[in-house]
Amino acid sequence: MAVTAGNEYRSFLTLPEKQNVLKTHFSQLTAGNIMKMSYLHPGENSYTFDQADAMINWAKANGLSVHGHTFIWHSGYQVPTWMSSYSGDFQAMLNSHVSTIAEHFKDDVVSWDVANEVIDENGIDGCWRNSLFYQKAGKNFVANAFIAAHAADDDAELYYNDYDTEGGNSAKFACLLTLVDELLAAEVPITGVGFQMHVQIDWPSIEAIGSAFKAIADRGLKVKITELDVPINNPYASTPFPQYTSYTETAAAVQKARYKAIVEAYLANVPASQRGGLTIWGIWDGDSWLHTFNERQGVDDWPLLFSGPADGPYEQKAAYFGVLEALQGQ
């Protein structure tokens, strides 16, 4: 389960009802923000681990593991200012960034998104996002990040993580496979691929999703669903948007079926030993990032597994039972 933590608005550490949900229904936490670059490494020679440490200490005390998100991400608001203007050996600096963080959390973080969203199917050389990291270090920054992370913590599982790779965008998925195959050929210590799964209620098809999962599993890698949410309104659909202005019984049933089918596709196409796990991107509907996503401003949605008052108690939705039924083989 992805959580707000630390000093973030509505941190789960300040809301007992969120804590109750996590302890009762989930086994792993992912920090939505506070383990990203700008939070952990705000100055060239300074790291700030306090917020992440507090989250991890809570997780350990309550029997939950932690998945780290993420060593490297291009987004401007998450790249530290000092890093954008760094004039030294950029690759050496980036390796140190990864290894220092991995070493600090060794034994406390069981897995990491090592590199996040480096692919652009319309980008440099046909597949690479024209990020600061690519500009400064070329495409080898990804392989080097995996190597640095593994050297610092050889027990942690290491994932490449991206969106829009679950079968609906064949060009981007082809880029993903190229990246993965190059890393494997170079014997880079990659454990698996994280599929973010910010999907629509009706896209992509379950067949395409299952095929994408299988392609990674067939390469001997683990598959992890890292950021799943399912809004009921699709701004890209041919029907008028929003399709639902309230959370009706019909909407709930459609959403439940979609969640259930996704989990079933995961179980059917990924052998048990290669399942890295399933993370929902948030607890309560009202906290979802989709409410502020620019194409949904002013439009309600209910993309997660729990509803209810803002501070709880939170209620399990039909979608929750769809996931549960799939996991239980019902």
pLDDT in tens, 98-132: 999 999 999 999 999 999 999 999 999 999 999 99
Topology, domain 2-327: TIM Barrel (3.20.20)
Catalytic residue among 117, 121, 157, 264: 117
Catalytic residue among 17, 121, 227, 264: 227
pLDDT digits (tens, 9 = 90+) for 21-42: 999 999 999 999 999 999 999 9
User: C-alpha dihedral over 267, 268, 273, 275, to 10 degrees?
Assistant: -40
* Average pLDDT of the chain to the nearest whole number: 97
Other Cβ atoms within 10 Å of 179 Cβ, number: 22
d(CA 120, CA 128): 5
Domain boundaries, the chain: 2-327
Q: Would you call 264 a catalytic residue per the annotation?
A: no
Strand (E) positions, 21-110? 28-31, 65-73
Predicted local confidence at residue 296, as pLDDT: 78
Helices 249-269 + 206-217 axis angle, to 10: 30
Res. 158: pLDDT tops 80: yes
Res. 149: pLDDT tops 90: yes
Within 8 A by CB and 6+ apart from 50, the residues are 6
Amino acid present at 42: P
d(CA 230, CA 314): 18
Q: Would you call 227 a catalytic residue per the annotation?
A: yes
Predicted local confidence at residue 179, as pLDDT: 98
Amino acid present at 38: S
Confidence at 205, pLDDT banded by 50, 70, 90: very high
Amino acid present at 145: A
Strand (E) positions, the chain? 2-3, 28-31, 65-73, 111-116, 119-124, 128, 157-162, 192-195, 222-228, 275-280, 306-307, 315-316
Predicted local confidence at residue 74, as pLDDT: 97
Predicted local confidence at residue 277, as pLDDT: 98
Kindly state the tokens that stand for 166. Answer: 């679950």
Predicted local confidence at residue 46, as pLDDT: 98
Confidence at 295, pLDDT banded by 50, 70, 90: confident
